[in-house]
Structure 1
Amino acid sequence: MKKGNITIYDIAKEANVSPATVSRVLTGNAKVRPQTMRKIMDVIEKYNFKPNSLARSLLHKQSKTIGFILPDISHPFFSTLFQKSEAYAMELGYTVFLGNTMNNSENESKYLQSLVEKQVDGIIYIGGRINDTDTDKEYAEEIKKVMERIPIVFVNGRMTGVDAHVVRADEESGIDKLVELLINLNHLKIGFLGGLDGISSTDVKKNSFINAMKTRGLSINKDWVIGTGFNIESGEEVATQLLNLNERPTALLCANDLVAIGVIKVLTKFGLKVPEEVSVVGFDDIYLAKHFPPGITTVSQNYDQLGQTAIKVLVDLINEKEAEKEIVVPTSLILRDSCKLLSDS
């Protein structure tokens, strides 16, 4: 046999086993007797047969399944994005497995391994370790090993040293639109509330806020930039801290809609009317933003487009087609009733 033309059938014939057994050895998808494995590996090494060739061989069959890994399915951003992505994946003939890690890195590792064992064709990765500002090298190596076997697409995140395909919403532009809106409503004293340092989504939004303010010649009061998390309770916490200050902003830009809801709850509780006395804007355009009084002005991450784009990229990679390394999905300003023109008086 010529080395350049070796097929899985040639390997099987010389090793006196079935092509399916060779497939199992190369993918590690099932147990093979040690002596049989050794016999197959001897032939593979003899002809320098590349395991990657198997993935393109006639025996390679797609499972038509896609894995999702995300940190918190109870969070409306993740659940909505998952739902939109899942619907589109099913349109394309795929079913999905969901790994909800509960914000636990050990669970992330378990789900990564589990999805590989389930032979999914690819993985959509949202949040978790891909949102850490400082990438853990061990986590990066773990992801890279999985990517040697199946494609992974990151959504709204990245990892240093990991050459993954990325699909992300244009959060920078979204924050800029909110700052511009508030300034057009005569607000010059604007605070930024919510998020956590060390999380890339917070870093992106906070830095975009600072840049948008500076570009328009406005100063930033560090006392008005407070973050303890991403949920309603953290919104309540930062709003309470704000109320204890001698000088307060007239408008508050929140890292997401849940934080905005918590902020509005506390402001209302202490007699401050939104938007008559304080304007509040959010981010994400979750379902609750429309219905929580007075209706939260926010930025939509365009879940349909974000989810569909991520699935399209992953399916292209599964089918060995070229795909753009990074795709930025535009965000949209959603105007509701939580901010108001500030009178000159």
Structure 2
Amino acid sequence: MKKNITIYDIAKEANVSPATVSRVLTGNERVKPITKEKVLAIIEKYNFRPNSLARSLLFKQSKMIGIILPDINHPFFSTLVLKIEAHALSLGYTTFLCNSMNDEQIESTYLHNLVDKQVDGIIFLGGRINQVETNHALAEEMNQIMDRVPVVFVNGEMEGVDTHIVQTDEIDGITKVVDLLNNLNHQKIAFLGGESGISSHELKYNAFQHAMKNNQLPLNPDWILAEGFEIASGEALASQLLTLKNRPTAIVCVNDFVAIGVIKTLEKFDLKVPEDISVVGFDDIYLAKDFPPGITSVSQNYDQLGRTAVDVLIKRINNELAEKKITVPTRLMVRNSCQQLRE
């Protein structure tokens, strides 16, 4: 059986101390060139690669990053995680993916497990960082975790937690949507989906109100309905809207899942999109482009968002300076679900 070569075997054959081999592996300049050359020749001879535990001892890093997210089934999170994982891997880091299933206790368990596994840092998505009113016990727990490893929040924050944040410009995204519909002659615009107390909903709704006011468009409270973020939520909300005698000509949805549900219900009642009602989503998930008739949506710019989150975290891991809050621009992806309102 082939023997597993260790740092001690390398040291013995090179007639140097294990500490000298460690300095060669870490690129320490205090090793004499002739000694370094001898050690490297033996390392190459045995194709020696220190295992992950050895690397963590040598370099004081595990080269592992933890990712905590609330729902891997949601395309926003799964798409973003793919971008994060790919960029981290390109920089030599592997990732631990932790799906909390929207459960705060599971979030806490994962936070402590990741620290116990000696990850170098954690990227945190959704869950507790999307609560408008911060749970102070959870914030204190987060601060305790940050005393041990750096943490980066994506599209969220917590009162009393001073960490690095990477976010998309959701306000500008909604503003672009309302401006587009206004330019298409729509004045009767609804806002559907979301949940009170969740920052991703509150942020978009406040931006919607502001954009409507800026465009001098009327806000009808009957057309502002919040009942979740899922396809079923869109179906239920569209059904409510259709009971009204006075209906909007365009609908802005909190995300693409809601938009899909809205379109399904409208078509069930023989209303065509966009001929009868225009519909716009948010997130630009992979379904948006291909779900008939092609959903106009706001792209969260996943590639840049994921790369930026990883870059900021690695800077913190290496004790380098990084911007405290970075805002990534969104893009409006115009497709066939909205059109000019006929006079």
Please give the TM-score of this superposition, normalised by the length of structure 2: 0.83
Which residue matches 2:24? none
1:68 Cα offset (Å):
0.3
Counterpart residue type for residue 166 of structure 2: V
Paired with 2:284 and 2:297, the residues of 1 have a C-alpha distance of 6
SS in 1 for 2:186: coil
- Aligned position for 2:324: 325
Q: How does 1:96-245 map to 2 (within 5 A)?
A: 96-245=95-244
Aligned-partner Cα distance in 2 for 1:114–1:229: 30
Unaligned regions of 5+ residues in structure 1, if any?
A: 1-57
Cα distance in 2 for partners of 1:107, 1:60 equals 31
Pairwise CA distance, 1:210: 0.2
Residue 217 of structure 1: how far off its partner (Å): 1.0
Identity %: 62
User: What is the deviation of 1:60?
Assistant: 5.9
Q: Residues 180-217 of structure 1: CA distance to partner in whole angstroms, max 9, x if unpaired?
A: 00000000000000110100000000000000000111
The aligned counterpart of 1:84 is 83
Instruction: State the alpha-carbon separation in 2 of the partners of residues 59 and 132 from structure 1.
Output: 40
The aligned amino acid for 1:198 is G
Q: Which residue of 1 aligns with 2:74?
A: 75
> Take 1:198 and 1:331, find their aligned partners in 2: how far apart are those partners?
23
Letter of the aligned partner of 1:110 in structure 2? Answer: T
Q: Distance in 2 between matches of 1:273 and 1:306?
A: 35
How far did residue 246 of structure 1 move?
1.6
Q: Which residue does 2:54 correspond to in 1?
A: none
**Quick one: distance in 1 between partners of 2:264 and 2:279?**
11
When normalised by structure 1's length, the TM-score is: 0.82
| Alpha-carbon distance in structure 2 between the residues aligned to 1:227 and 1:70 | 23
Give the counterpart letter for 1:151 in structure 2: P
CA distance in 1, matches of 2:115, 2:308: 23
> What secondary structure sits across from 2:98 in the alignment?
strand
User: 2 CA distance for matches of 1:243 and 1:105?
Assistant: 36
Q: Distance in 2 between matches of 1:96 and 1:59?
A: 20
Distance 2:232 2:119 in 1: 37
> Which amino acid is 1:264 matched to?
I
Question: In 2, Cα distance between the equivalents of 1:302 and 1:201?
Answer: 16
Deviations 1:88-126 (A, max 9, x none): 000000000011000111100010011011100000001
Letter in 2 for 1:94: Y
Aligned residue number for residue 271 of structure 1: 270
Per-residue deviation at 1:59? 6.3
- Take 1:70 and 1:274, find their aligned partners in 2: how far apart are those partners? 33
- The CA distance in 2 between the partners of 1:325 and 1:278, in whole Å, is 42
Please list the CA deviations of residues 295-342 of structure 1 after superposition, one character each: whole Å capped at 9, or x if unmatched. Answer: 000010100000000000000000000000000000001010000100
For 2:231 and 2:248, how far apart are their aligned partners in 1? 20
Instruction: Find the residue that maps to 1:99 and give its secondary structure.
Output: strand
The residue that corresponds to 2:340 in the other structure is: 341
Per-residue CA deviations over 1:55-108 (Å, capped at 9, x if unaligned) read xxx966100000000000000000000000100000000000011000111100
User: Distance between the aligned counterparts of 2:281 and 2:59, measured in 1?
Assistant: 47
AA in 1 matched with 2:210: N
CA distance in 1, matches of 2:145, 2:202: 27
Between the aligned partners of 1:59 and 1:79, the Cα distance in structure 2 is 33
Count of aligned pairs: 287
Distance, in Å, in 1 between the alignment partners of 2:186 and 2:276 is 12
Secondary structure at 1:280 match in 2: strand
Supply the RMSD in Å over aligned alpha carbons.
0.9
The one-letter code matched in structure 1 to 2:125 is I
Code of the aligned partner of 2:137: E
Within 1, Cα distance between the matches of 2:58 and 2:68? 28
**Alpha-carbon distance in 1 for matches of 2:58, 2:295:** 53
